[in-house]
Amino acid sequence: MTASTMGVGKVSRRDFLKLMAAAGTIMTFTPFVDWGKFLPNIRSSEAQKAKVEMPDGSQANINSFPVNHSESIIYPKTDDPVLNKEAFRTWQLIRLPKELGGDRNDVSAFRMYSMVCLHLWCLWKYFPRRPDPEDPSKMIDGNGQCPCHGSMYDVLTGKAYQGPAALQGPPSNVLPRLDLEIDSGGYLWILTPQWKADGNGIVGYGRFLTERS
């Protein structure tokens, strides 16, 4: 690689980061623009009812999935391993802590949110309910935390309550969520989503909270 080529690469990367920062600012102050139309979203034709496939290839089952636990799930999954690594196909399946209903024996014990942070698209992670490191006699509720700029997401609704994503207007302050179903054998299924802000949401853009949220 020549020095000039390397220089172009550096400038491009810096310009890209500047662009992303500007996009975040714009999304914060102009939530009325329909940014969802411009995002690299999954085609509706790919998204169908599907098994909740765990990283080990097995289908998630309520009888074996621990309470207060999460797994990363690829959806919609394709035959192409490169496509399957796209952030926009990465979801976090969470079985709620017992205190929030995670011990129920029905689908209400689960949530499945897009892992793409609504601020600048880093991947957030679920931290289970756990003892407070500063006072272990107290418990901290489980939540989603983004490592990039500290946005935090409520596990019950997917709504950002802290950090830059919380400052964005609706629908860009609530994570897209997939609807689930459990069959008679306890196996979890993803229902065909509606990729729109007033449906299951648009990955990287957000979702309007509704009654069932």
**Binding stretches for ligand FES (CB under 6 A):** 117, 119-120, 122, 146, 148-151, 163-165
Helix runs in the chain, H state only: 3-29, 164-167
Are 172 and 110 in contact by the 8 Å Cβ rule? The answer is no
Contacts of 204 (CB under 8 A, 6+ apart): 39, 40, 41, 88, 114, 116, 118, 121
CB of 164 to ligand FES, least distance (A): 5
- Kindly state the smallest distance separating residue 153's Cβ from ligand FES, in Å: 10
Q: Which is nearer to ligand FES, 49 or 149 (CB)?
A: 149
Nearer to ligand FES, 70 or 172 (CB): 172
Q: Cβ closer to ligand FES: 24 or 142?
A: 24
Least distance from ligand FES to the Cβ atom of residue 115, Å: 10
For 7-37, the three-class secondary structure string (H helix, E strand, C coil) is HHHHHHHHHHHHHHHHHHHHHHHCCCCCHHH
Pick 83 or 123: Cβ nearer ligand FES:
123
**For residue 157, what are the contacts with CB-CB under 8 A and spacing of at least 6?**
174, 209, 213
Supply the minimum distance, in Å, between the C-beta of residue 211 and ligand FES. 27
